[in-house]
Amino acid sequence: MADASGALVDWVEFGRMRTELGADFIRILGYFREDGGKSVDRIEQAMQRRDAAGLVTPAHTMKTEARQFGAYPLGDLAEEIEDAGRRALESRLFPDQILPQVAALRPLYERTMALFQQETNPLVARGHGTGRGPGNQEFGRL
C-alpha cells in the first residue's frame, strides 16, 4: 500500500502542510491521529455489522485528512472503502469484497502514524540519505 516509489508519505506535501499551518501543525496532526483512530474503529465496526452507510463517512474523513498530510496510500485505501460503501448504498448489496482493504487499513494507518511521529519528534535522530534533506542532527553544519 505504498505509492510507486514505495513511500507511504509524500514528504514534500507533509512539509508544505507543516509550513502552511506553522505553530498549529502539531495540534492539527494530533487531531488527525485521534480522528484517524476513531475512523478506523468505525470502519471496522461497520464492516462487522455489514453497515454500508457506516463505512462512508469515516472513510471519507480518513481520505481527506490523510491526503492533507501527504499520506496518499492511506488516503487512496480509504477512498476505495468509501467508494465501495457508496456503491453498496445504491445497489443495496453489501461490499463483502472490500474485507481485505478494511483489514489492511489499521496496519497502514499505524505505520503512517509512526512515520509522522518519527518525523515530528524532536528527540528522534533522522536518518541520513532519506531524500528529505538534512536531518535534525545536521542543522547548522556545513
User: Is 2 inside any structural domain?
Assistant: no
Report which of 48, 61, 57 is spatially closest to residue 109, judged by C-alpha positions: 61
- The total domain count for the chain is 1
The pLDDT of residue 36: 95
The pLDDT of residue 140: 44
User: Is 106 inside any structural domain?
Assistant: yes
User: Is 142 inside any structural domain?
Assistant: no
d(CA 64, CA 3): 17
The pLDDT of residue 122: 76
pLDDT higher than 80, residue 59: yes
User: Is 43 inside any structural domain?
Assistant: yes
pLDDT-derived band at 142, boundaries 50, 70, 90? very low
User: Is 51 inside any structural domain?
Assistant: yes
User: Is 87 inside any structural domain?
Assistant: yes
d(CA 69, CA 106): 17
114 is in which domain, residue-wise? 11-120
d(CA 134, CA 138): 6
User: Is 133 inside any structural domain?
Assistant: no
Tens digit of each residue's pLDDT (9 = 90 or more) over 96-124 = 999 999 999 999 999 999 999 999 987 76
Query: Is the pLDDT higher at 128 or at 97?
Result: 97
Kindly calculate the radius of gyration of the chain based on its CA atoms and give it in whole angstroms.
17
User: Is 40 inside any structural domain?
Assistant: yes
